[in-house]
Amino acid sequence: MANGSKKFYIFGLTQVVCLIAIEGIDGAGKTTIAEHLREFLSRLGYDCVVFKEPSNSVYGVKIRQSNQRLSADEELRLFILDREIDVKERIFPALQSGKIVIMDRYYYSNVAYQSVRGIDANKIREMNEKFAPKPGLVILLDVDVEIALKRVKGRKNLTAFEEAENLEKVRKKFLEIADDRTVIVNAGDELEKVKKEVENVVLNFLRKRGCKN
């Protein structure tokens, strides 16, 4: 089906699908923007929900609680298993009920983070798109690694995902894999400016997609 079509026939779903993925390196502001979008759209009368990945499934918990970086293959395996559950139990039911789904990370993160560790980016995308609905809009919050690391410095437990050299590679990969669904937003700007730009991007997307409030 052409990208411009308003209907997606996935898992028997025939209504307009409004799935928005918020992506970017650690420290880009994904959670802040995702929650702002939910509040902003709710005030306008849209029925929307935010889902964060990895989820709280047994696989998602294993990813988050791992004290040492897993191998690239094992890391990807756990993300795929976690997302399969997320799609079945949260994402698809929400889309089926007509909600706007905002993803705080989605499979574009897998493509970026695991491909810099040696797994083919196209393979990762294909593995995910076999079962996960494609987002209608991807907002890539792009930010300098130096700024991102300053933002995450206050976290109690920094992970291997947040090492400077790794983040530089991941940031570059995110920009490389940006497609016609992706809008790149400068997340290094003042927060209110970023929020306003994202609001405009999303409202334009919803109007074109025909998502009702």
In sequence order, what are the beta bridge partners of 127? none
What radius of gyration do the chain's Cα atoms show?
Answer: 16
Q: Is the pLDDT assigned to residue 8 strictly greater than 90?
A: no
Q: Is 184 inside any structural domain?
A: yes
Q: Is 14 inside any structural domain?
A: no
Q: Is 204 inside any structural domain?
A: yes
The kind and range of the H/E element at 41 are helix 30-43
Its sign, for the CA torsion 108, 114, 116, 122, is negative
Q: Is 106 inside any structural domain?
A: yes
Measured distance CA(17)–CA(210) in Å, rounded: 9
The average pLDDT across 20-49 equals 97
Q: What is the pLDDT of residue 47?
A: 95
pLDDT digits (tens, 9 = 90+) for 90-107: 999 999 999 999 999 999
pLDDT digits (tens, 9 = 90+) for 168-184: 999 999 999 999 999 99
Could you list the residue range(s) of the whole structural domain that residue 127 is in? 19-209
The count of structural domains within the chain is: 1
Q: Is 11 inside any structural domain?
A: no
Q: Is 10 inside any structural domain?
A: no
Model pTM score: 0.89
Q: Is 5 inside any structural domain?
A: no
CATH at residue 102: 3.40.50.300
| Chain centre to alpha carbon of residue 63 | 16
Q: What is the pLDDT of residue 156?
A: 52
Give the Cβ contact number of residue 145 at 10 Å. Answer: 21
Q: Is 75 inside any structural domain?
A: yes
